[in-house]
Each structure stands twice: as structure tokens, then as C-alpha cells.
A and B are shown apart, each in its own frame.
Chain A
Amino acid sequence: MLRVDALTVRFGDVTAVDDVSLELAAGERLAVLGSSGCGKSTLLRAIAGLEAGDGTVSVDGADLTHTAPDRRPIGLMFQDHALFPHRTVEQNVAFGLRMAGKKESARTRRVREMLALVGLEGFGEREIATLSGGEAQRVALARALAPAPKVLLLDEPLGSLDRYLRERLIDELPDVLGATGTAAIHVTHDHDEAFAIGDRLAVMHAGKVLQVGSPGEVWAAPTSITVARVLGHTNEIIDGVTKVVWRADAMTIDPSGPHQAMVDRVHFRGVDHDVRLRTHDGRMLRFLLDDPPAAGNDVRFSIDPARVLRFD
């Protein structure tokens, strides 16, 4: 449905988006994962028409490359929400409907529907300045969804929220998008969020899309060390010319195991523990364990070969 072909955006000498091609099916959610500065926001802005670039963008076969943002059937939810400070919640949500020339009765109905969808019934008359972060985020979502764009682009939509709200919205967002059948590209730097929301996952680095696949596939089999790093794999071992990465779930404490390291520190995480080990050659390793060893002791362990990634 959405097709991005060889999209490149340059700012002077810097290439922010470098030859990116993507496809998105109707109703599909694509998560774009990348660290900050990798060009993922610029990618969304270019798809929305807010940045000029080379390459083509089309929706349902219609070439939109030279179409102004206001004429693209694409919605964008901004990282900082960009709510209109001079309008109420209701007026914010109704904005796109007004632009589309919808009648007032239809607008009112749709706004009520959208506010209900994001759990903000009765918030219509509120001023933007009086909203909390989570409320503002939901208003932004409702506003972006209200005109029923074919594609919704979400730029770090949960970035500024507290953990509790984030986790709740990670659950709700797919439901909301599913309820409206909107295809979405969700940009984030957080792999948990990307895994939870994306039907598919695209990993971005330095302006390029390095790998696309289901979250499970990508996590299990990154195609390069860079992708592995973006996914949060930190345990890199050089084994000759091959780079080897031990996944964080690859370790088992095993007194007869082949590896030994000192337990540097242990963070309790609730369900499990985040264990940092220091090898004798000074390398830092990080694993997740249900039953951690005490800090300060040496520990022997083994690695599940099925959970080891190799890059040539």
C-alpha cells in the first residue's frame, strides 16, 4: 500500500536518509528501530512530505513524491505532539476533519469517537496547557487518527512518557490502530516498544535500513553486528576474524562451564536480574538471570550455542 523507493534526504553534506526502500501492507504496523540521530525522524518527515528528497513515495499506486503534505493521505504524530496551544482538545482533534471539509455534525461524532478510542471521554473542552504528558499524547494520537489517514507515521510517540503509561500505551496502541485498520510506521529507539508494536521491524542505522523482518526473526538473526548492536546485544566477542555476540539470555551458571568471570554488579529487575560480569581480560558482559550470583565473586558459566550470533 505505502511504497517508499530509494528515498534519500540530504542536509548539505550530511545524508540523513540514505537510499531507503520500504513497503507497508494495508493495516500493517512497521516498527522502525534506531538510535537517536540515525535518520528515522527524517525518514518519517520525508514520507509525510515535510522534507524534500530524491526517490519516490506512493500510496496505493499513486505517486505522491511531488504532492504537498496537506494532500497526502498520510498522518504524522510528532515526537513532541505539536498540539495547537491556542485550541481546545476537541478543536485539536477536529482540525484534520475541518481541513477535509467535513460537516460539523460529522466532526463532532468523529471527535467523540476518537476521544473515546484513546480513553479521553469528556476531555473535549480542556485547554492544551492543562493536559498531562499522557493526556497530550493521547490527544495527539486521536488528532492524527481522526481524518482516517491511510498511513499513520508515529515519531517516538511514547518517548516522553513514564514507564507505567508507556507500557499501557504499548498495549493500547496496536488495539487503537487495529480498531481503525490504519497502517502505521512507528519509529522508536526502544527495542521493547518496537517488538511489542511492530508486525514487522526495520532496523535503521546512519540513514540506511539495514534489516527488515518480523521482530522475532530480526532479534534472533540479525544480519550484521550493527543490527545486533541496535537490537541491544552488547556481549561482543572477537573470535579470530569472526565477530561473535552472546545474547543476554545465552548464559547458564555452570561450575564446570568453560568460561569464567567476576560478578561486577547485579541489578534487580523484578522478574529477573541484570548481571554484569567482568572477564579477566577486562571485557564487560551483560546477562539476564533469574537466580543471580553474588557480586564480587568469580563465577563459571556456559553459553547456549543456539543463542550465539556469528558475523563474518
Chain B
Amino acid sequence: MRTRERIGVGDALMLLPALFIGLFFLFPVGTVLWRGLGGEGLDAVFDLAKSPRQRDVLWFTFWQAAVSTALTVAVALPAAATVGGLSDRARRFVRSLVTVPFVLPTVVVAGAFDELFFATGLDTGDFRLRHTVWAILIAHVFFNYAVVVRVVGTACAGLDGRQAEAARVLGATRWQAWRAVTLPRLRPAIASASAIVFLFSFTSFGAVLILGGPKRATLETEIYRYAVSRTDLTRAAALAVVQLVAVLALVAVSTWLERRRPATTRMARPTRTLGSRPGRWLNVGMATALLGAPLAVLIERSFSTGTGYGLSHYQALGTRVRQLPAPATTALWNSLHYAALATVLAVLIGVVASVVVVHGRSGSRRLFDLGLTLPLGTSAVTIGFGILIALDEPPVDFRTRWWIIPVAHALVGVPFVVRTMVPLLRSIDPSIREAAAVLGASPSRVRREIDLMIGARGALVGGGFAFAVSLGEFGATSFLPRRPEDLTAPVALFRLLSTPGDLLRGQAMALAVVLMVFVSVSVFVIESSRGTAEGSL
């Protein structure tokens, strides 16, 4: 009879995320690992522990991911707080702008960083940033900045500012009030964002190899090396098992951290006084330097032609060059199309899953939480190969259907929706749900009217992520066989960059800039689709 613990039995929708993750992730990954380990079974995994090189790889993978996460949180948290204090429109604007790095291939970003280091003298003389661990860390901060700003910034905006004000009145400095009152209440969101950043850094491929140099190896690059360069599928599978186990452990820890604090928010009027004015400008300055400078380099390159500046690279996007099976505009259109589908899928599944995570029985709750986050920490090789060998059962051959691409993208998008929505749902005052129940809303109706409506903000922010992730996804896409005309923009961009010639490179830069514009506009539109209601939060 205790209704707070009850989940509507009629919630057959619960099956949707379970089916999705089971069919498109657990089954394929399980199959590929089982096949990969072959006769050796877990012995292959234990053998890894005996190799000093693999121990180093494991240690470095953890280490760089942990430091990247700490750095990203440290750099982006002040910005998140500032964003939380902005007006709704400004907040959406900033939130959509910071997603830009998500769609940029590492090759392109690395080039921009190189140019920047060179221009600022950071890459001359004794100290060269290129191929150092620092380059990896900086790149991870660059790529993941948006995660913290968006997840934590969203949570900030929903906070009741009065507690911090109370602390100020009690004699706390702005910083003390933030630390003692605001920070603890942001902890679930920070834990959420950190988990995502950690997993992204944990499975980062391009940044490690290109910026870190060929000497660096993480579990992700080793899996690629064994699976692709050496076709040693046993070793690759063993590494993938280690990766999976590590990610499971990490996600378990992070969800535990997240759940430990069910800080309820009364959804009262937020105050807009977070951060001092100089502090805000410092944030803006830092964000501009970190995100803006490399992007400015790209933009400059995209307009720079052999005869000065012009739009010729952009105009060229409409005509097919020989390296591409279709014009770049077709690739852009495909990418938008896939991203829209992936977003709808990710939001649909992520929303249902979030409700289960918050309200389900403790068993299903934990399973969903873990299962849905796993794809974020799983190698693109594992996912791509898994889909390829598992989903071949007649009469349905899923492997080469075009929609398997947006489905694979949605796998990575779902955790974003879950991770932005769950802290919001946890912060809903239980009496609001009870009020709805007393007014005649059945438990499933309460989920819809209260959880979904209030969580919608999180779902939209998560959906924006899903869109950005899909638009920029390269790894899994490249492992999935697809028809030439189904190529995505990142694949096209990579192709343009794999033949020498200034025209091709210019067009690649123009394509990157168009992707940047697309992602920020799209994310803005997605998040604006519920504008007024959001204002009240």
C-alpha cells in the first residue's frame, strides 16, 4: 500500500529499454566476446594480468581517465555554476554552443591544437606539448567540457538559491556558501557528469593516439590494435572483457555516489546571483580560450582559400569529389537524419529507463542503471564487431541495414539521457507526487504527469547530447558496413583528409564548421522545445 515504492504493473514500457539494450548491446557484445575468447575462455583474461605491458596499459587507462575527469570537473564547474545563474535563453545558448567539440573528429582538433601551440610558442623550444600526456588531458578537457557544463549547469538552474543565501546571511563568504550549501546539493549531478567524462576518457581513441602519440596505449587502443591490426581476436576479446569489468565497477561506484544523496529540491524560485561578476568574466575568458581558440583556427582555415578568403570550400560541399561516393552535403543530410533518429530513440528509451532507475524495484533499478551506462564505456570495436556477428540470424539480417547506425549511436546517447534525467527526478519533492496521487493520478499517471514533465528538461538536455554524440560519432559507424550513399559526415570528413591536397583539406574544414553550426543550432532547437515550462523550474 505504500505507494511511493510501487511501480505500475502496467508499465510494460519498462520492457522497451530492456529489449533495446539486450538486443543491440548485451547480446552482440556477449556473442563477440564469447566467440573471441573461444576455447581459452577466461584464461585469456588472466593471461593479460601476467603481461607487464598490459598491466601498464590498464594502469594508464585508469590514471589518464581519472585525471582527465578531475581536470574537466575543476575547469568546467565554475562555468556550470555561472551557466546555472543565467537566464533561460542565455543558458540554452551557452549549452548548445559548448556541444560543438562533440562533433569534431580528433584529427581535426589535433590539427587546430597543433597550430595553436605553434602560434603561441607552446610547441617550440624545449617544451613541446605534442605527444605528451598533457596533450591528452587538455584534449579530454576540451571534448568533455560540455558534459559538465550541461549536466551540472542544468542541475544548478533547478536549485533553490535561498539556502545559499541563508548561508551568506549567516556570515559565509560567497565561496564558503557555495562549498557548504550549493556544492553538496550538486553532488548527484557532478557524480553523473563525472561518470560520463570518465567513461569517455576511458574509451577515448583518437585523442590518445593522435595527441598522446603512438607510445601511449589504453585498453581502447589495445583492443583496436589486436582486433584490427593483428586480427588477434582472442587477445582483443580478453581486453574487452577487462574493459567491461572495469566499466561495470566504475559505474557501480558512481551510481552509488549519485544515490547516496537524495537531496530534494523544493523547486522554488531560483536566485540569479551565483558567482561574482569578475568570476563570471574569468569563466567566460577561460571557456573562450579553451573552446574558442581551436575552433577559431578551424573556422579561419575553412574560409582560407588559395587566393585569400572566400566561400569556395563551402560551395564545394555540394559537388562530389572523387574520394567520396556522394557530395559532402549528402553525408551531412545523412548525419542529420541519423542524429534525429538516434535522439528520438535515445530519449524514448532513456526516459523510460530513468523512471525505472528512480522508481523501480532495487533489482531492476540497479540493472538498468548499470546496463544502460555500459555502452558508453565499451569499445567501438566491441560494439561494431558484436552487431556484425550477432545480429545475423535469418530471417532478419540487421547487420547491414542503414538504421543499425542510428541504433548504435542511440546506444551511446541513452546513458546521457539517463544521467541528466535521473538527478532531476531524484530531486522532485515526493509530496508533489503524492499530491498528484491524491488528486486521482494512478502511479503510472504520476510518472507521466510529474516525473516525465519535470524530468523533460533533463530529457531534452540528454537528447541534445544524444544528437551531438550521433552527429560526431565515428568509431562505431566506421565498423558497421554501410552502403556508400549512407556515409556520415564524420566518415566523409575523414575521407577528405586522407588524400593530400589543399582543396580537399579546405573542404574538410568547411565540413567541420558546418557540423559545428548544425550541432549548436540543433541542440538549441531541441532544448527550446519546452521553453516556457522550463522557465518555472
**A touches B in complex, CB < 8 A:** yes
Binding site for B on A (CB under 8 A): 45, 48-52, 66, 68-72, 74-76, 78, 80, 82-87, 95-96, 99-100, 127-129, 143-144, 147
Provide the residues of chain B in CB contact with A84, threshold 8 Å.
432, 435-436, 449-450, 453
Q: How many whole Å from A239's CB to the nearest CB in chain B?
A: 47
Q: How many whole Å from A120's CB to the nearest CB in chain B?
A: 17
Inter-subunit contact A68/B454 (CB<8 Å): no
Inter-subunit contact B443/A68 (CB<8 Å): yes
Closest B residue to A45 by CB, please name it. Answer: B434
Interface centre among B1, B266, B453 (most CB of A within 10 A): B1
Inter-subunit contact A86/B537 (CB<8 Å): yes
Contact pick for A75, options B2, B3, B439, B445, CB 8 Å:
B439
The complex places the Cα of A66 from the Cα of B2 at a distance, in Å, of 10
The complex places the Cα of A128 from the Cα of B267 at a distance, in Å, of 10
Provide the residues of chain B in CB contact with A80, threshold 8 Å.
266, 429, 431
Within 8 A of A (CB), among B410-444: 429, 431-432, 434-443
Inter-subunit contact B454/A70 (CB<8 Å): no
Inter-subunit contact A85/B438 (CB<8 Å): no
Inter-subunit contact B438/A74 (CB<8 Å): yes
Provide the residues of chain B in CB contact with A74, threshold 8 Å.
438
Contact pick for B453, options A51, A72, A78, A86, CB 8 Å:
A86
The B interface is mostly helix, strand or loop, or mixed, namely helix
Q: How many whole Å from B453's CB to the nearest CB in chain A?
A: 5
Interface string of B1-33 (1 = CB under 8 A from A): 111100000000000000000000000000000
Closest B residue to A143 by CB, please name it. Answer: B439
Closest B residue to A75 by CB, please name it. Answer: B438
Inter-subunit contact B432/A82 (CB<8 Å): yes
B495 located at the interface, meaning its Cβ lies under 8 Å from any Cβ of chain A in the complex:
no
Inter-subunit contact B1/A95 (CB<8 Å): no
B535 located at the interface, meaning its Cβ lies under 8 Å from any Cβ of chain A in the complex:
yes
Provide the residues of chain B in CB contact with A70, threshold 8 Å.
437-443, 445-446
The 19 listed contacts between A and B (C-beta, < 8 Å) are A45-B434, A50-B434, A50-B437, A68-B3, A68-B442, A69-B437, A71-B440, A82-B429, A82-B432, A82-B435, A84-B435, A86-B453, A86-B536, A95-B436, A99-B436, A127-B536, A143-B439, A144-B439, A147-B440
Contact pick for B440, options A51, A52, A100, CB 8 Å:
A100
Q: How many whole Å from A208's CB to the nearest CB in chain B?
A: 22
Closest B residue to A96 by CB, please name it. Answer: B439
Contact pick for B536, options A50, A66, A82, A85, CB 8 Å:
A85
Knowing A70-B442, A86-B536, the reply to whether A95 touches B434 (Cβ < 8 A) is no
Provide the residues of chain B in CB contact with A66, threshold 8 Å.
1
Provide the residues of chain B in CB contact with A82, threshold 8 Å.
429, 431-432, 434-435
- Count chain B residues whose beta carbon lies closer than 8 angstroms to a beta carbon of A: 32
B166 located at the interface, meaning its Cβ lies under 8 Å from any Cβ of chain A in the complex:
no
B533 located at the interface, meaning its Cβ lies under 8 Å from any Cβ of chain A in the complex:
yes
Q: How many whole Å from A11's CB to the nearest CB in chain B?
A: 11
Closest B residue to A93 by CB, please name it. Answer: B439
Given contacts A82-B432, A99-B436, A144-B439, list 9 more A-B pairs with CB under 8 A: A70-B437, A75-B439, A80-B431, A84-B449, A84-B450, A85-B536, A95-B439, A99-B441, A129-B269
Q: How many whole Å from A84's CB to the nearest CB in chain B?
A: 6
Closest A residue to B1 by CB, please name it. Answer: A52
Q: Which 8 A-B pairs have the closest CB atoms?
A: A99-B440, A96-B439, A85-B267, A52-B1, A82-B435, A82-B431, A69-B437, A76-B438
Knowing A85-B536, A129-B269, the reply to whether A50 touches B443 (Cβ < 8 A) is no
Closest A residue to B158 by CB, please name it. Answer: A85
Interface string of B439-473 (1 = CB under 8 A from A): 11111011001100110100000000000000000
B268 located at the interface, meaning its Cβ lies under 8 Å from any Cβ of chain A in the complex:
yes
Knowing A129-B268, A147-B439, the reply to whether A86 touches B533 (Cβ < 8 A) is yes
Q: How many whole Å from B154's CB to the nearest CB in chain A?
A: 14
Knowing A49-B3, A85-B267, A99-B445, the reply to whether A69 touches B438 (Cβ < 8 A) is yes
Inter-subunit contact B438/A48 (CB<8 Å): yes
Provide the residues of chain B in CB contact with A87, threshold 8 Å.
453, 533
Q: How many whole Å from A13's CB to the nearest CB in chain B?
A: 17
Provide the residues of chain A in CB contact with B535, threshold 8 Å.
127
Closest A residue to B428 by CB, please name it. Answer: A85
Closest B residue to A53 by CB, please name it. Answer: B1
The complex places the Cα of A76 from the Cα of B441 at a distance, in Å, of 13
Provide the residues of chain A in CB contact with B449, threshold 8 Å.
84, 95
Closest B residue to A74 by CB, please name it. Answer: B438
Closest B residue to A131 by CB, please name it. Answer: B269
The complex places the Cα of A83 from the Cα of B536 at a distance, in Å, of 12
Q: How many whole Å from A143's CB to the nearest CB in chain B?
A: 7
Provide the residues of chain A in CB contact with B429, threshold 8 Å.
80, 82
The complex places the Cα of A33 from the Cα of B311 at a distance, in Å, of 78
The complex places the Cα of A100 from the Cα of B453 at a distance, in Å, of 19
Provide the residues of chain B in CB contact with A78, threshold 8 Å.
431, 434-435
Q: How many whole Å from A151's CB to the nearest CB in chain B?
A: 11
Provide the residues of chain B in CB contact with A76, threshold 8 Å.
434-435, 438
Q: How many whole Å from B428's CB to the nearest CB in chain A?
A: 9
Closest B residue to A100 by CB, please name it. Answer: B440
Inter-subunit contact B439/A68 (CB<8 Å): no
The complex places the Cα of A66 from the Cα of B3 at a distance, in Å, of 11
Q: How many whole Å from B244's CB to the nearest CB in chain A?
A: 38
The complex places the Cα of A62 from the Cα of B454 at a distance, in Å, of 35
The complex places the Cα of A87 from the Cα of B530 at a distance, in Å, of 12
Knowing A76-B435, A76-B438, A95-B449, the reply to whether A128 touches B536 (Cβ < 8 A) is yes
Interface string of B454-497 (1 = CB under 8 A from A): 10100000000000000000000000000000000000000000
Q: How many whole Å from A108's CB to the nearest CB in chain B?
A: 17
Interface string of B269-289 (1 = CB under 8 A from A): 100000000000000000000
Provide the residues of chain A in CB contact with B268, threshold 8 Å.
129
Provide the residues of chain A in CB contact with B267, threshold 8 Å.
85, 129
Inter-subunit contact B2/A51 (CB<8 Å): yes
Provide the residues of chain A in CB contact with B266, threshold 8 Å.
80
The complex places the Cα of A82 from the Cα of B267 at a distance, in Å, of 10
Provide the residues of chain B in CB contact with A129, threshold 8 Å.
267-269, 536
The complex places the Cα of A95 from the Cα of B436 at a distance, in Å, of 8
The complex places the Cα of A80 from the Cα of B432 at a distance, in Å, of 10
Inter-subunit contact B1/A49 (CB<8 Å): yes
Q: How many whole Å from A107's CB to the nearest CB in chain B?
A: 13
The complex places the Cα of A70 from the Cα of B438 at a distance, in Å, of 5
The complex places the Cα of A85 from the Cα of B433 at a distance, in Å, of 12
Provide the residues of chain A in CB contact with B1, threshold 8 Å.
49, 52, 66, 68
